[in-house]
Amino acid sequence: MSNLIYGIILSALPIAELRGGIPLAMSSGASIGVIFTLCVLANILIIPIIFLFLDFLHERFMEKKFYRVLFSKLINRTRRKIEHRIGTKWEYPALLLLVAIPLPGTGAYTGSLAAWLFKLDRKKSLVTIAAGVFIAGILVTLASLGIYSLI
């Protein structure tokens, strides 16, 4: 059962998110429904925390060189992925796809950063990012089921 807990924690962490959390949790033997629900909820629950961090702590961390360099790289990558859609009717569908496609450098963290960076409506962004996390959860779960059925 500990792999379920590790999978939930991994689902809430940057880089791995659901791509790492769901497959790890599947090795726990818990039901697919429980795994999907808990991992997706863990990933959705970090969205408001990311917004709070960016709103209130980001400026303090910018004083640190390591954070400033890392954040600048992340900003440039995020900007390239979605900037051309901002201000158009495609800004929220682009945000949804940015989060929903479970590839490295995409997910709730990147989506939240993009929404914050481009000053998108917070409530619409939260719903859009959560929907993207849900879709990513489905895709990762289906992929994981396929991989586990081969083993």
Q: Which of 39, 67, 35, 37 is nearest to 54 (CA)?
A: 67
Q: Distance (Å, rounded) from C-alpha 47 to C-alpha 124?
A: 12
Q: Distance (Å, rounded) from C-alpha 23 to C-alpha 115?
A: 28
Query: pTM score > 0.85 for this model?
Result: yes
Tokens of 86: 């901002």
Name the residue ranges covered by the structural domains of the chain: 2-150
Tracing tokens 């479970």 back to the chain, one arrives at: 102
Q: What is the CA radius of gyration of the chain?
A: 16
Give pLDDT tens digits for 6-61.
Answer: 999 999 999 899 999 999 999 999 999 999 999 999 999 999 999 999 999 888 88
Tokens of 33: 């429904």
